[in-house]
Each structure stands twice: as C-alpha cells, then as structure tokens.
C-alpha cells in the first residue's frame, strides 16, 4: 500500500513518456526528430526521480529536463511549429546535455579517481620492486579496493605513477575520454554514409549523457579504454590485419579478464587464423609481463579464481545481482553473496548466453557486414551474465548504443523497443536511488531500482530481433 502512490505515478509517467516518444516515431530518419527523441528519452527518468523526490543528490535544475517534453508537446499540438523543428531540437538537446553536465561535473572533474589510486600504487610498487598484490586483503575480501587485476595493467599504468597522484589521475581521465572519443569517431564506419556526421555527433554527446561514462571517470576505471581498443581491434580485423587486431584484443583482455568474452563474433569472422593469433598474443603479452615483473603466475594461480566472486550490492546490475536482491533484499548493502541465488541466476545466464551463441552462429555467413551489431549484442550479453556488472561497466554500452543508432528510421527498426531500452540505460547509477537510512527496502522496490538490467535485456532483445540482412536505407538523415 505504501508503494501504491509511487507505482501509480510511475505508471502514469511511463504512459505519458511512451506517448510522447510515439509522436516522434515517424521522424527518426531526420536529425531533428532523432535528436529530440534522444533528449526526451534521456530526461524522462531523472525528471521523474527529481519531481517525486526519489532521486538522491540530483541537480535541482529540473526545468532543463522538462524542456524536451514541452517541445515535443508543442510540435504535436501545433503542427505549424514543424518549420522550427531544427532549432527546437537543438534547444532540447542543449538542455539535456547541460543538465547531464551539471549531474556529472562533480564526479568527473572535482573528485579524485578513487579506484585509479589502486592502479597508481600498483605501478609504483612495480617500479620500486615491491610485492604487487596485497594477498591478505584480497583473501579476506575479493572486492577489497586494492589491486587485483593482471600484472600487465599495472605495467601500462607504471609510467603515470612517476607523476604526483592528482596529476596522474587527471592524465588518466584525459586518456580515457580521448580514447573513447576516438572510438566513437572510428565507429563512423558502422553508420550508413549519409548519416555519419549527425550520428557521430550524437555518439560524442553520449560521452556526456550516458551516466556510467561519468561513473567510470569518477572511479578512474578503464572501461572507456576498453571500448576504444575493442573498436580499433575490430576495425583492424575488417581490414584484414589479423595479427594487429589479435594483439589489441589480447591486450584489452588482460586489462580486465571479462572483455575476453566479447570476442565470439570476431572468432566467427576471423575463424581459425584469428583465433590462433589471439591465443599467441595472449601468451606473448603474458610472457612479456612475466619477464618484466614476475607476478603473472601468482595472479593466475591465486587471484584469478576470486574474480568469480559474487555480490548482491545494488550497484551490481548483472543478472546475479538482481536475483540476489529479490531473494535477500538486505544484500543491497554489499559484501554479501546470496547462495540461494546461485542456481537460478546460473540458469538464466546460461540460457541468455546460449541464445546469443545460437543467434551469432545463425548469422555467421553475414558476419562480414554484421560484425558491429553482433559485437553490440555480445556487449549486452556479457554485462548481464558476468558475476558482477558494476555501474561503471555499463560505460561499455557506448558501443551497442552508437552501433544501433544507424538503424533508427529504417524499415523494421523496432524503434519503440530501442527507445525503451535507451531510456532505461542512458541515465542513472546506483547512488541516485540508494535507499536512505530511514527506508526499509523491499525486494519489489529493489527490483525497480535495477531498471538498468531491464534496459540491457531490452537492448539485447533489439539486437536479437534484427534481421540477418538489413536493406540499405535510401533516406538520408538531414544534415
């Protein structure tokens, strides 16, 4: 009963938002229509959280969020305003991006990158010849904020550890943002030629609008680097540069282990030769790292098994996290596995992974032209099936969101499904709806707090429903 008013308000809000987005459904092949739809989709959730008082610490400039909805309503009720569609869409996009900047400014620029400090100290220990891993801390808590990744990552960060920590953190963030921007520009090849300029600009805007990007910068995590290297490595494969592509993918896999799961579409595209090159490069990078610092054996023997540890914390947006919180709501505080969640989450993850493998296998003959959508679907799959999918991991969604933009406005674009997924994914991290000390969260409320997981499932479904061959769109996006 206590939830009933909020649920009623939420249902009404979802209905209104869906109706407004539906008004723009037929205009997605034009840049004003697409920009307005994306601005509206971005604003719906934070505006609801702000007006209902559910959101914690959100900027108070809610009129900026209201602007896209008002402009959409104006264009719907007054058709003559369509002649001003371009400047009105630019105004809506500007308001949405300004609010997103206010939302992320303190995290991205004013606070030190707390997780980067672990990388920084690891690089410093390699230079000083000290032990790389704090084994006691990691054995006590697999999620301890100390270095726990492959030694190669520490080697790459070691040059930055020669700088003072604040300067090194700023340089790291600049490297991550610059790499992500380069990756977005490189993804132009995934768009229809007439639409590349506008869609690339929208992709760059997502660096500001996609909340997990800000979260990744807040902690100093390397997800934006992973996006850039994955894009570059895939592009090299499409150009026939087998070894160069494999070397980059092996490198990104040894930054954090889970990106190795993304390579299935490339294995189908590059076949045996690329798989052999990838294996050789993984061994080569590991031998190089082991020769320099000698910690690789300890990582693979003692630390690698702990990467499968599970946690029910609210910021874990993987399937396991949702199931764990449904079974035991108190797990949202973190540092707590829920044994009863292991089997159901394993079954769900296995089904999703098998479905992805089956779809990719069916489309293997079209992998030459469908590699980017296949990689986008695999990103969604990996974020859902890994044991922990923290907020900042969702920065990887830059790739599937940008790849899929080019399909909007085409025949059979499933735009309603895509816009629903985008609206759930583009805004919000766990800190925005973390229960206060006065609240007693229920499994029901925590399920709705996991809306990003639902968004990732919807985006996976959008990729799964795409035909194996999409006819070229003859309508040019108005530049």
In this predicted structure, the answer to whether residue 438 has a pLDDT above a threshold of 70 is no
Q: Which residue has the tokens 């599937």?
A: 400
Number of H helices, E strands in the chain: 21, 0
Does the model's pTM come out above 0.85? yes
Q: Do the Cβ atoms of 456 and 397 come closer than 8 Å?
A: yes
How many percent of the chain have pLDDT more than 90?
A: 50
Q: Judging by beta carbons within 10 Å of its beta carbon (0-12, 13-18, 19+), is residue 116 exposed, middle or buried?
A: buried
Please tell me the predicted confidence (pLDDT) of residue 473.
40
Residue 335's pLDDT is 76
Q: At what angle do helices 85-105 and 211-219 cross, to 10 degrees?
A: 30
Considering only residues 440 and 406, tell me which one the structure prediction assigns the higher pLDDT.
406
Contacts with 278 (C-beta within 8 Å, 6 or more apart), sequence order:
246, 249, 250, 263, 267
Domains in the chain: boundaries:
113-190+221-308
Mean pLDDT score across all residues of the chain: 87
Cα-to-chain-centroid distance, residue 362? 26
Nearest-Å Rg of the Cα atoms of the chain is 22
- pLDDT higher than 60, residue 2: no
CB 180, CB 372: distance < 8 Å: no
Confidence of residue 468 (pLDDT cuts 50, 70, 90): low
Percent of the chain clearing pLDDT 70 (strictly above) = 95
pLDDT of residue 478: 36
Mean pLDDT of 10-16: 83
- Has residue 451 got a pLDDT over 80? yes
Cα separation of 74 and 68, whole Å? Answer: 10
What is the spatial distance between Cα 305 and Cα 308, in angstroms, rounded to a whole number? 6
Q: According to the model, what pLDDT value does residue 465 have?
A: 92
CA distance 378 to 370: 12
> What does the pLDDT read at residue 212?
94
Q: Tell me 314's DSSP state.
A: T
pLDDT, average across residues 65-90: 90
pLDDT of residue 268: 84
CA distances from 46 to 52, 214, 365, 433 (A): 10, 15, 42, 11
| pLDDT at residue 191 tops 80 | no
Q: Is-contact 160 171, C-beta < 8 A?
A: yes
Q: Which residue has the higher pLDDT, 190 or 268?
A: 268
Distance CA 342, CA 115 (A): 28
| Dihedral of alpha carbons 446, 322, 51, 395, sign | positive
pLDDT score of 171 more than 60: yes
**Residues 302-360 pLDDT 10s:** 888 877 778 888 899 999 999 999 999 888 888 778 889 999 999 999 999 999 999 99
């Amino acid at each position: 009963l206590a939830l009933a008013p909020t649920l009623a308000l939420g249902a009404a809000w979802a209905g209104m938002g869906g109706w407004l987005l539906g008004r723009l459904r037929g205009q997605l092949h034009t840049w004003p229509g697409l920009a307005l739809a994306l601005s509206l989709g971005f604003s719906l959730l934070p505006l609801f959280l702000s007006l209902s008082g559910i959101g914690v610490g959100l900027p108070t400039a809610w009129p900026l969020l209201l602007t896209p909805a008002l402009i959409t309503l104006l264009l719907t009720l007054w058709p003559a305003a369509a002649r001003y569609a371009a400047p009105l869409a630019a105004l809506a996009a500007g308001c949405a991006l300004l609010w997103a900047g206010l939302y992320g400014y303190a995290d991205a620029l004013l606070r030190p990158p707390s997780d980067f400090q672990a990388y920084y100290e690891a690089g410093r220990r390699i230079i000083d010849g000290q032990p790389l891993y704090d084994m006691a801390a990691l054995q006590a808590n697999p999620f301890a904020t100390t270095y726990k990744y492959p030694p190669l990552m520490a080697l790459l960060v070691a040059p930055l550890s020669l700088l003072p920590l604040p300067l090194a953190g700023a340089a790291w963030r600049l490297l991550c943002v610059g790499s992500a921007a380069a990756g977005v520009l490189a993804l132009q090849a995934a768009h229809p030629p007439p639409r590349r300029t506008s869609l690339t600009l929208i992709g760059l805007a997502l660096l500001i609008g996609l909340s997990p990007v800000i979260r990744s910068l807040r902690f100093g995590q390397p997800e934006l680097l992973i996006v850039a290297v994955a894009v570059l490595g895939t592009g090299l494969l499409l150009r026939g540069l087998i070894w160069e592509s494999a070397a980059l993918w092996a490198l990104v896999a040894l930054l954090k282990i889970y990106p190795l799961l993304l390579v299935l579409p490339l294995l189908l595209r590059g076949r045996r030769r690329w798989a052999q090159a990838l294996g050789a490069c993984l061994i080569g990078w590991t031998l190089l790292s082991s020769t320099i610092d000698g910690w690789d054996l300890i990582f693979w023997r003692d630390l690698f098994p702990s990467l499968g540890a599970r946690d029910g914390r609210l910021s874990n947006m993987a399937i396991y996290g949702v199931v764990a919180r449904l079974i035991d709501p108190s797990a949202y505080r973190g540092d707590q596995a829920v044994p009863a969640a292991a089997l159901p989450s394993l079954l769900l993850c296995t089904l999703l992974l098998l479905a992805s493998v089956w779809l990719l296998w069916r489309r293997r003959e079209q992998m030459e032209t469908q590699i980017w959508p296949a990689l986008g679907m695999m990103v969604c799959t990996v974020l859902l099936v890994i044991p922990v999918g923290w907020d900042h991991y969702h920065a990887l969604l830059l790739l599937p969101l940008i790849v899929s933009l080019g399909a909007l406005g085409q025949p059979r674009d499933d735009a309603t499904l895509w816009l629903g997924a985008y609206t759930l994914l583009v805004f919000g991290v766990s800190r925005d709806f973390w229960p206060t000390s006065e609240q007693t969260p229920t499994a029901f409320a925590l399920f709705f707090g996991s809306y990003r997981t639902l968004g990732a499932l919807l985006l996976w479904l959008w990729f799964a429903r795409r035909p194996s061959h999409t006819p070229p769109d003859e309508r040019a996006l108005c530049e």
